[in-house]
Structure 1
C-alpha cells in the first residue's frame, strides 16, 4: 500500500471535488470501468472528494456529465506538477540540487566522536581515548569512508593496556567508540582485621562465631552499628589461666608478661528477628482506562522538513480518549542513512471506567502494595515469619492501613578496623 502511494506521487494525481445528487452513481460507474479512486470522503451531503491519477481525470468528465455532477480539481500532487513548477523556478531547482549535493558531501565527513562505556572509566579518561583515536584518523572532519574500524580498534587496544576491548561504529556522521576496561581484582576487605556489626536493629535469634570474640548472645536486643563479633581478641589474664589450670604458683616473678591483643578478621552468622512497617492508602473508587481495541493510524513520509501523508485513518477526527504510540524508522541505503523518516502514529481508543472496591478488595490491595514496598528492603535470604495488617482509617473514599512484617535474617556486616 505504501509503495503504491509512492508510485502515485511519482506519476502524479489530483484531488477532485464532485457535487451532485448522483455521486453514488458516479463512483459506481468509475469503478466499473476500472478507474481507481482512493481516499474517498463525503464532507457534506451531495459532495464527495477523492484522489485519482492525473491520466484518469479526463476520462471522468464524461461520467460526471452523465451523472449530472459538477467536477473540479482542488489540488494537484506529484512529481509531474512539481517538475512544472521547477521549470518556472529554475533558480529554486538549481538551489535544491546544490542543497542535496552539499548534503551528500557533508554527510561524507565525520562531525562528532563519542566515547561510551558500560561502566565509568577509571584507569583512562575519555580525552585520552579521543586523542589516541585522532592519531589513527578518527576525528572531526575525517572522511568517513577512509576509516578502517577494525584496524583503529586494534591499535587502541594495543595502546591502552588497561583496556580489554574496543569497538568502533560509524552512525551517519557520528563515530561511537565503545571501551571496555579490564577488571582488576580488588583487595578483599575481609582479609583485613575487622568487626562484625549489626546492619539493622533486631533481636538475636542465633549466633555462630567462626572467628573473633562474641560480644552478643541469643536473646539480646541490638541496634544498628553494635559490635556483634569483635576482631580484637585480648589475651587471658594470668588469674584466668591459673583458674583454668587449677594451680597457683604464688610467685609473681614467674608470671609471664602481658601479651599483646590479636587482630583478626571476624567471621560469623548472626540471625535476628527484624521488624518492618509500611503505610499505604487505597482509594475505594479507582479510575482506569481500558483499551477498546479500536485504533487509527497515520503514516507520514518525512523528507527533511517536508511531510507526505501516506495513510490517514484519523482525518482530523481522533477519538475522545486515546493513547498515542509513535514509531519512527530512519531509511537507509546500504550503510548511508538517508534524511528520510517513516513516522507511524497509532491512536488507540480507550474508555474511562470507574472501579468500585469492597473493603476486602481494598485491604488486599493495601497488603499487596505494602509487601511490595517492604520486599524491596529485604536482603537476600530473609525469611518472612509473620505479617499483620492494621486498618488505621476507612471511609467512603479511601482505606488507610499499616502492615507490620517480622523476618528472620542475617544482620551481620563486616567493618574493617581503622
Structure 2
C-alpha cells in the first residue's frame, strides 16, 4: 500500500551499509523523511524503502551516520518519466500511432446511397456535405441520424421515405423515390369538355370546331370544342386542341388570431465542446454557463471508438441557438388582409397553372376569443377545357341517323 501512495513522488529500495546503520534511520526520522519496510539483513546492513529526496541531502545524512547506500530498485513516476525522456523518439512515435488509430477509428470511410437515381444521389450527397457528412469527415462533428433524416426529408420533394443508419464507419442512406403515374395521353379524335360549371370568357382554339361562345354558361362535362369538323355530307374527326378560359367561383373559410406569440431565431449560435470520461465531463471549448438570455439547447453525444471497440470516452457538443419571443397584434383590417392572402395562395396552389383570381370578397366575419373567423368567395379565371376521346363509330352512326 505504501508503494502505491509514494509511486507519484518516487521511492528507492536500498541497502544501508555501515557499522551503525540505525543512526542513518534515526536521522531520516528526525528530518521527517518517509522510510518504511525496514528489514535487517545482517549486523551491518539494513534494507528499507525511502521516499525520493534530494541526492545532496541524502549524501550529507550518509556521511553524518558514517554509512553508504546501495540502490536495489528505483520506482515511481519520476523514474518512469526519465526513461520516457531517454526514449523520446519511441514514445512520441507510439503516441502518434495511437492518436492516428483513434482518428481513423472515428472517421467516415464510406457513404452508401441505395434506391436513388444518379441525379437524386448527387443531391443527397450535397445535402449531407452541408451537414458535415462526407467521406473522410470525423464522426464526432456529424449530427445524429434523426437530424440527418429531417434535413434530407425537408429538402427532397421527390422522396416518399428516407432513412439514415450507421454501421461502424459506414453511413447507409436508404431512399424510396416517389413514382408518379404517367399521364394517359388521349390520342386520336377527341373533344374538349368542361371540367366544371363556368361562364366562358375567352377561347383559344388550335384545331377543332368551337360549340360555345363568350359569356355562355356551361356545365361540367359539356362539349366546348368538337373534334368533328365539316358538315353532315363531308365531315371528319380530328384531335381538338386549345384552351377555354372560364369564370369559376370558390368559397373558403379561415381563422386568424388577432394576438399571436411566436419565436424568432437571431442566427447566432454558441458552441460548447466537452470530453466525457466515464461519469466525468471535462470542458474543452466554450465556458459560458448561459451565453444568451433566451435560447434552445441541443446536445449531441458521440461515443469515441478505438478500432472495433467502444471506449468509455464520449465527445459532447452543445449548441445554444439564440432566440426571442415576439408578440404580434393585428387589427381587424390587417387580419382580413392576411386571411384573404392566405386563402388566395392556398386556392391558386390547387388550380391549373396560369389561373388568375379576379376578385376576393368577404361574405362573413366575426371575432371570437381574439380570433377572426372569416368566410370569403373568389372569382377565378382558369382553363376549364380537358380532352375527351371520341367514339368514332358511334358518332358516325349518329351522324348517319341524322342524315337519314
Q: Which TM-score bucket, shorter chain as reference?
A: 0.3 to 0.5
Larger Rg: 1 or 2?
Answer: 2
Give the TM-score, by structure 2 length. Answer: 0.45
